[in-house]
Amino acid sequence: MNDSQFDYDLLVLGSGPGGEGAAMQATKGGMRVAVAERYTQIGGGCTHWGTIPSKALRYTITSTMKTLQSPIFQELGVHVSPSLAQLQRGTQAIIAKQVSMRQSFYERNNVPVLRGNARFLDQHTITIGGCDPIRAKHFVIATGSRPFHPEGVDFDHPRIFDSDTVLNMPPQPGSMAIYGAGVIGTEYASMFRNMGIKVNLINTRAKLLEFLDDEIIDALAYHLRDQGVILRHNEEMERIEGTDDGVVLHLVSGKRLKTDTLLWANGRTGNTDELGLETIPLEANSRGQLEVDEQFQTSVPHIYAVGDVIGFPALASAAYTQGRAAAMHMLGKIDGNLRINDIPTGIYTSPEISSVGKTERELTAAKVPYEVGHSLFRSLARAQITGETTGMLKILFHRDTLEILGVHCFGANASEIVHIGQAIMSQPEGRNTLEYFTETTFNYPTMAEAYRVAALNGMNRLF
């Protein structure tokens, strides 16, 4: 089909991280690109309901509580309890800055943002908000996800929230039940407990965040309990009963929990139900997610999908990289998947968690002869100065070749610290070893020094 028959070379559905990554990469490669966005502002759930507002609030809570608990403030007799509304006041300004910055990307690159719900009419044609059909040679579906809403749970009840609505919660509750102990559930459990809210965290599995290294999981569980969070594992909801003065969670085990509010944090659904996929034809799974190959192509080769709408890992960071990879594939760069197997986790509990590479569990199952190097943050001068001594860095390495196999961090700035290890892991064979850390001079005092301490600790285990 002749390109002149198309209005655009690429039409991206959604302006979150995945859509932005695809649009910017494609337009830099010379493609005619447009973006469809149904919300009043660009940025997607990442900017407006998820990553940015929740992390901004987390930072405010953490820094405010740390200040109020400092010996100086205690000595001065400063005793205040900021409300959730007060702690959130700066969030809207941050969101506005993000929207303005991202809007400028589209304007500078002459990428029009078309407002309204996009719906496929056929494999190359969509309508936006019911307006005139628009034809495109390629599509990237980057419509994101929303909290999964099971039948029988009344999300219109003023005391029952999901992760999109919880930040608009009215006056601070005294207690909260969080159903679902995945990344979102554990992050909010940590955040709200830091505000003094009594938290019950209900986990449908035997462990928290089972994809993490076991030692990190144990550390997280210990510190959540130490903060006062009540963890309940292997539980399943029977029903949720909203009352005038609280919410009663009835569990299959027979337990009943009554709290002031409830946050549902168990699963997400891809935003595909209004796209008219039946006209393509393309079918989403039971959670509204699309299946893709390594190049992010759906079963219809010129239609790609990236970000939360394809499921795991459902990270803003991964979505942006996936969007760029999809665009590079369209531009003829077959190897455009951009290290999709090298995506670090970043979990913003207090303290935060980040990891990249293999876990001890995986290496043991694969019979890889590995060893471990540890560095406890309490032994680092920088951590002692800042008062953030909870946490550790662990390096997993091959005991014969010294190749770095995994880096796992739990503690302040973990999501930043992990990238040092990630950079060395990606070096060519022979340069991706523990010796980089034993032979490199690190600034002192820094948190990065944890790598030298952990590497020397690991070396001492060899014989």
- 181 annotated as a binding-site residue: yes
Distances (CA, A) of 129 to 37, 116, 117, 119, 279: 10, 5, 5, 8, 17
Among 170, 181, 173, smallest CA distance to 204 is for 181
- 184 annotated as a binding-site residue: yes
- Per residue, the 3-state secondary structure of the chain, as one string, reads CCHHHCCEEEEEECCCHHHHHHHHHHHHCCCCEEEEECCCCCCHHHHHCCHHHHHHHHHHHHHHHHHHCCHHHHHHCCCCCCCHHHHHCCHHHHHHHHHHHHHHHHHHCCCCEEECCEEEEECCEEEECCCCCEEEEEEEECCCEEECCCCCCCCCCCCEEECCCHHHCCCCCCEEEEECCCHHHHHHHHHHHHCCCEEEEECCCCCCCCCCCHHHHHHHHHHHHHHCCEEECCCCEEEEEECCCCEEEEECCCCEEEECEEEECCCEEECCCCCCHHHCCCCCCCCCCCCCCCCCECCCCCEEECHHHHCCCCCHHHHHHHHHHHHHHHCCCCCCCCCCCCCCEEECCCCCEEEEECCHHHHHHCCCCEEEEEEEHHHCHHHHHHCCCCEEEEEEEECCCCEEEEEEEEECCHHHHHHHHHHHHCCCCCCCECHHHHHCCCCCCCCCCHHHHHHHHHHCCCC
- 323 annotated as a binding-site residue: no
Structure token pair of residue 136: 């495109």
- 185 annotated as a binding-site residue: yes
- 350 annotated as a binding-site residue: no
- 243 annotated as a binding-site residue: no
Q: What gap in Å lies between CA 7 and CA 152, rounded to an integer?
A: 45
- 177 annotated as a binding-site residue: no
| CB 275 within 8 Å of CB 260 | no
Q: What gap in Å lies between CA 76 and CA 44, rounded to an integer?
A: 44
- 182 annotated as a binding-site residue: yes
- 421 annotated as a binding-site residue: no
Peptide bond into 445 cis (omega under 30): yes
- 145 annotated as a binding-site residue: yes
Q: Which residues are annotated as a binding site for NAD(+)?
A: 180-187, 267
Q: Extract the annotated binding site.
A: 55, 143-145, 180-187, 267, 308
Binding-site positions for FAD = 55, 143-145, 308
